[in-house]
Each structure stands twice: as C-alpha cells, then as structure tokens.
Structure 1
C-alpha cells in the first residue's frame, strides 16, 4: 500500500499543505517535521492511499488506528473512526466486510499537539493475534500445572503518566483466564507505584508486590514463594480499590463528612504500612511515660510484641500520632516512628519509641514551628488501618 502524506504546521488540517511526501507500506515512514520547516509539536498530517484486497487467502475483518493525540480514519470517503478530540493514546477497531479483489480509498488524519507523535493504521487478516496465542498457551500450561505464577506489572518513566491504574494491555485477561483453570495462582507485580486489582484479586490465591527488585530479584521472589524467606515488606503508599477514590492517603485532613461512595467503600485496597507475613504477631503492654509533658519535653512509648506463629519472622511496628483538637486542621493520623523486630516462634520483645518536639510540632500562620497544648492520641499497629494499641499524651 503506497500513499501520499500532506503535512500542515497547525493541528487543524487546513486545505493547503505546507509540504508533501510519499511513503510506502514496505518501510516505516517517519515524519520529521523540524527538517521541513514544520514545528516539532503542533502540526497535523493527512495520509491518503489505496488498500487492495487480495483475490485469494484470508480477508481482513477489522480495520483501525493505534495512536496518541487526535486521529480520524476515512474509508472510501466515509468517516469510520473519529478520535479527533480525545487527545490520548488508544487503539480503536471497526468491523468491516471487505470483498476479494476490491480496492478502497484510505485517508488517515492525525493531529499532534505536544509530546511524542505516534499513529499507525492497523487491520487484521484473520491471523490469530500474538498476545492471544500466548495467553492460550499460558492457560494450557497452567491447566496442567500444580501452581501458576503470573508475573505482571507496569513500566515507569517519562511520558508514561497513566489515566488508569489497572494493569495495561491484556495482563488482566491473562490473570483471569489462568485463574479460571482452578489451578492455584500467585500474581507477582512489578512496578513502582499503585495498581488497581479489583477485577481479579478475588480470583487468585496470593499477590506479591516485588517493586523493581533488580538483577537478583528473581531469586528473592523465589525465596519468598518457596518459603525460604518470610516476607516483611510494608507499603510506603496506599493502594486504592478504584481511581475514583483518589486522592487517597492515610494522613489526610478531616473533611467533616463520610468517606464512602455511592457505589464503593472509602476504604483502600491496601493501606499505607500494610504487609503480610507467614507468621502472626500479638501486641500488648502499651506504656506512655510520662503521660504529660511540656512543649519541649519528651516521652517514651513502650509496647511488647510477641510472635504467636510457628515461623520466625520480622514485624514492622508502627507508631502514629493524632492531634485531637488543634487550632487548625491536622491530619487524622501521622506516622511518628517505626521499628523492625525479628522474633522466633513464641519469642516476645519490648520496643521503645521516643516522642519529642519534632513529632509534635507544626507550622503556624507565620511559618514558625510551634507545639500546641492539648491531647495527642498515640496509636501503635501493624499498618495505618490495623491499630492494635491506643493511648493518650497530654502536652501542657
């Protein structure tokens, strides 16, 4: 399929092109506008060509466009795909009945505003898509296995802002298809930020978030999955159930209203500080000494943690504070310290935290650090949503 390209120095496609170029489907056709007097951003292109259907073999059943920014596709002069105003990356297909030996006029218009330009005319010719073949192969392998480990995730980087926190591409379909085999499934997530999992998390047996674990990450994940290492990682961010909950963070300020939605709870999927272990831990014996201090004083907070399970493991004990009644809106809770402790089965240990001016102070209207008199709630737990011990500290 050979064609002609008309390039305009605006994204609105005026009738007269600033320059023309020819391109062939036998090679990649790159538009390099700055070498032709066109700005690097803020331009538009119109490609025109003729698509010839084969007289034998398999005919395409769909035609479409893959690209970012705005695009329009005309077949035989009729507008069949209009993505001119959306201005975001996507793939749009349209079913179309082609006949053998027919010829069709194709016009593809593309509007580039800012960022990387990317557009591609695509169609299928009845050949199974590569990703579909791979998913079918993976499902068959999972069905004949004792356990399936699915590694999925995202790529972080410049120009990779996401409008959706779901796993991109066909990864969620892969997880759901493998889970439908009834083979136990562990999903290992690779990525540097939060992801939503509501479509599939109830269908799998376990989830491991590996972040970006580096060259030896495979060995580390294998040690966790095989039980050679008892995991003790804790989330430094909040994972939402859906994007509509955002922004969602543990140390938000009170709003005076409920946090539930009409169709969804206000609770996160996984809260700040969350993480599981192959053993269990019990908290007891909260002591706040002294229970009352002045603005420059300090207090020691003690508690006892016991491993009540059958495996040795680490617990990350977290200390949170809340200013109960301040002169300005303060966070509903704020991390004030944490301690990681390794315990054998049945072993217990007393931990001590220190609270002083640094954890209690805030900026006033004149941007000065002050400590207001009042009551501070002291909370110790395994995450921001799993508070095990509570007490109060009075600042005179």
Structure 2
C-alpha cells in the first residue's frame, strides 16, 4: 500500500513539474497570445531549426503508408526532418481519405517527436476544383465558378474544400489563383476566375474565406489559403508559361493588384505565393518592392510568402539575376521570400551563409516567425492530429455532392438558342415527340454521358453515343494532334444520319490546355481555334439537315466562329465537375434554366488579343480588315430560356463626393414563361480623366431569381472608393468629373445614366 501511495505521489509530483515547465514554455501555453508564443519559440530555436521552418519538400521523395498501415520513410527523409520542417506537399494524395488521415497522423507524430522543440509541420495540397487527392469531391474549375456569378455558391464550394482537406490531415492549399485570364493562349486559364479585376476579387474573397472557414475554422475544421501568383502571372508575354511579364505601373496598381489586396485585407489569406515570372524585368522572387514594400508594409500582410516550385534557385540558373545559388538565396530572402518550395539549392544553403553574412539572421527570424505564426493560427501545436473516426462521414457528403451539382448548373452559359427560322430549339422538354433518336457525338464526349442522359430523360428517347476520335495522342507532357481522325469521323457522320437530333460535344480537353511545366512539358497554344476536324464535323452534320446542339467543353477560350454560325444552340460548360454531364442533360431537357455568364470575352480570332472588355476606350477605335468588328461574345454575356426586361433606372443623386454615396435602382422583369435567374451587372465609365481610361469597368453584380411575369427592384450602392484610380501624377485617388453608370445583362448592353464627382476632398 505504501509503495502504491508513494508511486502515486511521485506521479502527481511529476505531472505538476511537467505542468510547471509547460507554463514556463510560453509557446506550449494555448492561453498565451499568438505573438507571445511565436516570440518564445523563436528564442529557443537554433539556426538550423529556424531555416527548417523555411523549407517545404514533396512527399513523393519517400513518404508512404505500408501494407501494414504503418508509416514508411525512405532514405534521406529522416535527415530532412531532423530539425523539423515548414511543410510537406501532398502527403497521402493517392490514398482514400481514411488511409490518408492515418498516414498524416503518423507522419505528424514522427515529426513532432523527432525535432527538439516538438514543432509540427504543415501538410499542403492544391485545390483548383476540389482537394487534389483521392476520394474527395471534384468540383468545376475556377473559371466555371466565376461564370456562376454567385458569390455565396463559390463560398459554399470552398467551404467544403476546406473541410475535406482538414479532415484528411491537411492544413494549407496552394490555391486559389488571383491572376487575371486575359490571354487564352495560356494553358492555365481555367485555374483562374476570368479577365475582370472586380469579378476576380469577389471570387477570391469567396474562395479564401470559404476554404479558411471565415478564419474561425482554421483551428480545427478548415485549412489556410495560399493565394497566387503574385503578381501578373496570367499576363506572360506570348501566353507561354515562364515567359517575361510586362505590365505598366498604372495597370499593375489599378487592375492586377486588387484581387491580391482583397485576399490579404478582406479575406485574410494565410499565405501568398510569388509568381514564376519577372515583373518589368525584376524577378518576382527577388522583388523587394513587390513582396515587402507593397505586400507586407503597405497592405499589412502577416502570413508567409512561399516560392513557386524551385523558383528561388531559378534566380540563378534560369532567371540569371543571381551569379550563384548562394546569391539567389540571399537575394530572395532579403526581398521578402519566407519559404522555399522544394529546392535543395536555395534556403538549404542559409546555415552556411550566415557564417559569412550574419546580417541574414534578422531576415531568417522574420521568415521563421511568419511560418510559426501560421502554425499557431491553425492550432497545430495544441491539436496536431485528425480524429480518424470522423473522416469517412465528412468526405463526399450529400451536401458536398449537391453543391458540386449546383455549381455545374449555375455556371453553364447558354451562348446561342436560335435556329435558322429564329425559333429556339432549347429546352427540348421531356414530353417532346419531335426528336425520338438523339445522338451524343464528338471528341470531348465522356464515357458516362449516355448513362447520365438516360437517367435524366428516362426511356422516352433512344440515345446513341460515340466519341469518334481523340483530339490528341493524350500523352501528358507534349501531346501531339491526332492525325488519324477519319475512321472515327466517318463513324460520327454515319450515326448522325440515323438521329433526329445531334448533340455535339466539342471544344478541348485536359491535353489541349494545361500547365507547361518547367522541364520538357508544353501546355500553351499559338492558336485558339478548335483543334482537329471539329469545324468540319459540325459543317457535315449540318449538311445532313440535322438540328444541332453543341455542348462546349474546354479549359481555354476558343474562337468558335464555325460552331457559333452553324449550331442551333450552344451550351458553354467550360470544365464542369464529375456531375457535369448530368447537368447538361438537365439543361437540354429543361429541368434547369441556364444562368451562367461569360467571365471572359470571346474573340473571333487570336489576332484581336488583347481583347478584354475593360481595355482603354481608344483601343476600340479601329477594327481589322476582312473580319467583323467586336467580340464573338462579350464579357458578362449569357442567355436564358426566359427573357428579361430592364427598366426604370434611377439614381438617388446625380452628384457624389468622397463623403457621400449614390443608390442606383433598376427594375428587372421576367417577360418570359419560365422561372429564371439573371445576373444584373453594374458598370461605370469615367468620361474624362488625366490619363486614358478603360471603356468601362464592372463594379458590382447581383444574381436574382424571377418567376414568369415577376418584377424585382435591384439596388446597388456607388461608393466613391470605386472611382479611385492611378492618376497622371501616379497617385491613387479621385478626380473631379463625369461618369456613366450602366446596368444590364452584359458588358455590351444596358440602361445608362450619368452622375458627377463634384470634389475630391
């Protein structure tokens, strides 16, 4: 009894001593402030431990789950983790969620118990259209999300992404992209939210706040966002990945910066990723003005700045602005790069460099502090592991799948719905008796499309389905165009002859628009015409006298002149989710009414580029010889199965100053026979400025649902802040003058009225 009693007393004393030690270790005290915990932990770290918090490596170097469900680390991984690590990219990406969580728990425990101070690691993913990992919900891509013009739906989508990532043991995502899509040659176009500054800013706010759980969810249920690529990455010259970026300082401030600034100041993004490219000759990863002066000092960004893959080292061997790898590391560190992604020839060199460059310590301390702060915000020191029992029931939930389907439905754009006799072919209707045999044909038809159409339409119709030919040889790095299309082409024509109605699946796929990775990969194009004999296919099917509905699937804007001229109807679906074909069938048979709008301008030819709607007014003075002037379809355009009338535009005042606001109202009436949703868009045009001004700029939008015959009054507030721009004196501010407000269904049409900014003070 005495022995047991003494043991108990001894155990209690040990617990009390441990508790007292943990209280002294401020960084382990969850009741201490984040700043205090960071300061305390940093003070206890040696140089190697600090630098370890500035490096990320990829799990494919040797992290796996064995057949016995035990963590396996290949040679060299233990050494990489000796002093801890900032983070690891994509651990468990090829495992189903429960197994991934099991792996990540073991990996985190190994890291925490094998570095001196018990510092946990970040596990990082990508999330363009859902968590980039096995077993998670797959959503439509960001360009689709922008086409929905639905802020709340985008927020809900990214909320699910954040939850599904965290439940499998992940903490950050290298997403979303705040770049603007203004060059469809660029293969990564669909990863972005379109060409417009305001629309992209709104989508970024929705995405970042969604994935971060409105910041409140970061402790346990959601993950942090790394908004990228700062800045101007979508404007690479020639539309080719890694090319130079030339953007005027005024355009940079007025058009390129705002989505990133919104991510930092309004959405509180935890991370920012720098751009692969340079910016007017200054490599982005060595750009002090960009990363420190603007991002950290002017905007107050408190998170960490991470490199794009290997780009710090590339300052030396690719950008050639640093003479040695050591110079590259010092250059990036002093510019404001906090974390090195992947390279073993950049920040890995810092411990040795400090011996001869002791001034680097203050930069290392600042960078390591930013990473530690992120980990405290994410609650990793207090709760580093996943509850395995809750994983399965929280991934691919009914709600998640329903949101994915809703995004498909709301992002679909009806570009055309008029036959030669001016009648509308869509919707067909489930009781239709005109079209009994329907052929689903074309090179971007997916395997499950026929089953999805049968599921939606029942046995009332007879469906046939044939892809015919692939657009390319489907080789990942450098795909080649398919030159053996005739057998499949002939089969498509033969099947079209037997049909009453042809639904042609045309456009592009994951091989005709993709990322051109650094080594031996291409993903950009010198043309935006549809590849392979797609134009000829639609011409020959039309020659048969068959009505044609085109389902357009693609990841870049295409100059669809022949398709636009020949098709009776066009449903632009971009790159929808795993349920995309189901949404397409619903739209064709009238179970849903398309309500998407174009997030980009569709040009007639690549020769019109640049061609975003908000260019300077003077850019639209002249067209080109031998082609019709203007876009094929304007930004913000999208039809419905019903019609809408705009009327009774009113301004609460025709004068505004920096201390006042104007309320704008317009009545929108559904003049058709079906319930529909309309995106009411507000544009502002500065009539006279000290510098040449955009033709017009989107400043707000609302998506409203109207029943047949219903009228709603839509209200907007013109805040004077939205009238600021970079003036001739290079100061960002107001100018007295006249403005036109336009409210309508697209950038190309609407009701207009004028107001005046009467003073600037």
Q: Tell me which interval the TM-score lies in, with the shorter structure as reference length.
A: 0.5 to 0.7
- String of CA shifts for 1:225-246, please: whole Å, max 9, x gaps: 1111010100010001112211
- Give the equivalent residue in structure 2 for 1:41: none
1:390 aligns with 2:752: yes
Cα drift, residue 368 of structure 1: 3.4
**1:18-37 correspondence runs (5 A):** none
Which is helix-richer, 1 or 2? 2
- Give the equivalent residue in structure 1 for 2:538: 175
C-alpha spacing 1:191/1:117, structure 2 compared with 1 (3 Å): closer
Q: Return the alpha-carbon distance in structure 1 between the equivalents of residues 576 and 480 of structure 2.
A: 33
Q: Return the alpha-carbon distance in structure 2 between the equivalents of residues 316 and 215 of structure 1.
A: 25
Q: Return the alpha-carbon distance in structure 1 between the equivalents of residues 556 and 479 of structure 2.
A: 25
- Give the equivalent residue in structure 2 for 1:131: 485
- Give the equivalent residue in structure 1 for 2:105: none
1:141 aligns with 2:495: yes
- Give the equivalent residue in structure 1 for 2:526: 163
Secondary structure of 1:222's counterpart equals helix
Q: Return the alpha-carbon distance in structure 1 between the equivalents of residues 644 and 635 of structure 2.
A: 18
- String of CA shifts for 1:304-357, please: whole Å, max 9, x gaps: 000000111011111000011111111010001111110001000000001112
| Contact 1:318–1:338, Cα closer than 8 Å, also in 2 | yes
Secondary structure of 2:691's counterpart equals coil
Secondary structure of 1:319's counterpart equals strand
Secondary structure of 1:240's counterpart equals coil
Secondary structure of 1:379's counterpart equals strand
Q: Return the alpha-carbon distance in structure 2 between the equivalents of residues 301 and 178 of structure 1.
A: 48
* Structure 1 stretch displaced more, 211-220 or 164-173: 164-173
| Contact 2:684–2:698, Cα closer than 8 Å, also in 1 | yes
Q: Return the alpha-carbon distance in structure 2 between the equivalents of residues 333 and 271 of structure 1.
A: 13
| Contact 1:314–1:341, Cα closer than 8 Å, also in 2 | yes
- Match 1:191 to one of 554, 569, 575: 554
Q: Return the alpha-carbon distance in structure 2 between the equivalents of residues 395 and 293 of structure 1.
A: 5
- Give the equivalent residue in structure 2 for 1:151: 505
* Structure 1 stretch displaced more, 274-283 or 355-364: 355-364
Q: TM-score, normalised by structure 1?
A: 0.66
Secondary structure of 2:699's counterpart equals strand
- How many residue pairs align between the two structures? 275
Q: Return the alpha-carbon distance in structure 2 between the equivalents of residues 257 and 193 of structure 1.
A: 23
C-alpha spacing 1:300/1:224, structure 2 compared with 1 (3 Å): same
- Give the equivalent residue in structure 1 for 2:689: 326
- Give the equivalent residue in structure 1 for 2:572: 209
- Match 2:593 to one of 210, 216, 230: 230
Cα drift, residue 144 of structure 1: 1.3
Secondary structure of 2:672's counterpart equals coil
Q: Return the alpha-carbon distance in structure 1 between the equivalents of residues 664 and 625 of structure 2.
A: 40
C-alpha spacing 1:117/1:291, structure 2 compared with 1 (3 Å): closer
Q: Return the alpha-carbon distance in structure 1 between the equivalents of residues 563 and 586 of structure 2.
A: 25
Q: Gapped runs of 5+ residues in structure 2?
A: 1-476, 516-521
- Give the equivalent residue in structure 2 for 1:80: none
Secondary structure of 1:199's counterpart equals helix
| Contact 2:690–2:728, Cα closer than 8 Å, also in 1 | no
Cα drift, residue 199 of structure 1: 2.8
Q: Return the alpha-carbon distance in structure 2 between the equivalents of residues 393 and 185 of structure 1.
A: 46
Cα drift, residue 152 of structure 1: 1.5
| Contact 2:657–2:720, Cα closer than 8 Å, also in 1 | no
Q: Return the alpha-carbon distance in structure 1 between the equivalents of residues 727 and 686 of structure 2.
A: 14
Secondary structure of 2:562's counterpart equals coil
Q: Return the alpha-carbon distance in structure 2 between the equivalents of residues 119 and 351 of structure 1.
A: 50
* Structure 1 stretch displaced more, 233-242 or 253-262: 253-262
- String of CA shifts for 1:174-232, please: whole Å, max 9, x gaps: 22222221111111111122111223422211111111101000001111111110101
How big is the alpha-carbon RMSD for the aligned residues of Structure 1 and Structure 2? Answer: 2.3
C-alpha spacing 1:181/1:224, structure 2 compared with 1 (3 Å): same
- String of CA shifts for 1:272-296, please: whole Å, max 9, x gaps: 0000100010111111112211123
Secondary structure of 2:561's counterpart equals coil
Structure index of larger Rg: 1
Q: Return the alpha-carbon distance in structure 2 between the equivalents of residues 195 and 119 of structure 1.
A: 18
Q: Return the alpha-carbon distance in structure 2 between the equivalents of residues 362 and 241 of structure 1.
A: 31
1:298 aligns with 2:661: yes
C-alpha spacing 1:170/1:353, structure 2 compared with 1 (3 Å): same
**1:1-396 correspondence runs (5 A):** 130-155=484-509, 156-158=513-515, 159-255=522-618, 258-365=621-728, 367-387=730-750, 389-396=751-758
Q: Return the alpha-carbon distance in structure 2 between the equivalents of residues 139 and 364 of structure 1.
A: 58
C-alpha spacing 1:198/1:284, structure 2 compared with 1 (3 Å): same
Q: Return the alpha-carbon distance in structure 1 between the equivalents of residues 619 and 675 of structure 2.
A: 43
| Contact 1:295–1:373, Cα closer than 8 Å, also in 2 | no
C-alpha spacing 1:197/1:257, structure 2 compared with 1 (3 Å): closer
| Contact 2:658–2:721, Cα closer than 8 Å, also in 1 | no
Cα drift, residue 394 of structure 1: 1.0
C-alpha spacing 1:261/1:226, structure 2 compared with 1 (3 Å): same
Q: Return the alpha-carbon distance in structure 2 between the equivalents of residues 204 and 119 of structure 1.
A: 28
| Contact 1:284–1:304, Cα closer than 8 Å, also in 2 | yes
Secondary structure of 1:255's counterpart equals helix
Secondary structure of 1:139's counterpart equals helix
| Contact 2:739–2:756, Cα closer than 8 Å, also in 1 | yes
Which is strand-richer, 1 or 2? 1
